[in-house]
Amino acid sequence: MTPLDHVMRTARVLNTHALSLPEYFVLCSAGHRVTYAPDAFVEHAFAAAEDDSRGHASRSELAAALERLQTRGLLTCLTEAALHEEARRRAISVIPEIIDEGYDVGHVDFTPRGYAVHRDVIRAIYGSDHLARADAGFNLDLDTGRFDVYAVSPEHCRGLMEKIEAGGDDYAGVEHTRFVGRDGPTAIAQWRPNRFDMRETGYHGVLRFRSDVVPIRGLAGAAPPRR
């Protein structure tokens, strides 16, 4: 796709969904799963879109776009009740899930409808394979020295596992990470790339590691994936 094609396709897709370019930039920041209150969230959207070839939006335009998306029910600021409800949902879920960390009261997030719109827009602009790659992710458990990696395909799962192994300390958040075990990718049934979406099939891989900085417990066992 040429730069001009990219611009024209984006314009057509946004017109179909009655979205402006600043609103698209704001939705994309929510899609990155950043955990910020509105002011910092707008700063993230501004920085992420600053060099976008499709156009530019000022901070004030992005702040107004955020307000419009909240009015339309596509984005929201999380409440304590919403966070408690989400915690209860995860507690009773039996489906493997990539857990979004760091969300707190006042942080900007999608509504379920807003996430569906964002996903439709990204699929229309970039294609289904882009979404498949973006759905890959992991849960990190420092206590057991374990990464649980999930993806749509074995290739995506294996690729992310290799990136984590190559990145080591950056992914674990501790120094002197040494990987000591690897399982998978193994085919699984239903799983969630995030709290909004469900995949009917996928792949799961496990990486086990030790660190000289943080004592790791329970490496001899195979703890179940974090839910």
Model pLDDT for residues 107-140, shown as the tens digit of each residue: 999 999 999 999 999 999 999 999 999 999 999 9
Residue 226 pLDDT more than 50? no
Contact 125, 191 (CB under 8 A): no
Which runs of E-coded beta strand occur in the chain? 75-77, 108-110, 137-141, 146-151, 177-188, 191-194, 197-199, 202-211
Tell me yes or no: is domain 3-78+105-126 CATH 3.90.226.10: no
Please tell me the distance from the alpha carbon of residue 14 to that of residue 124, in angstroms, as a whole number. Answer: 10
More confident residue, 157 or 100: 157
> In the chain, where does the domain assigned CATH 1.10.10.10 lie?
3-78+105-126
Give me the pLDDT at residue 4, please: 79
Residue with tokens 């807003």: 114
Please tell me the distance from the alpha carbon of residue 130 to that of residue 137, in angstroms, as a whole number. Answer: 14
CA dihedral sign, ordered 214, 217, 222, 226: negative
Structure tokens at 215: 């004592």
Q: What is the mean pLDDT of the chain?
A: 91
Contact 23, 68 (CB under 8 A): yes
pTM of the model: 0.85
Give me the pLDDT at residue 223, please: 33
**Each residue's pLDDT tens digit, 178-199:** 999 999 999 999 999 999 999 9
216 φ, ψ to 5°? -105, 130
Cα–chain-centroid distance for residue 212? Answer: 29
CA dihedral sign, ordered 153, 208, 87, 102: negative
Average pLDDT in the 24-53 region?
95
In the chain, the percentage of residues whose pLDDT exceeds 70 is 93
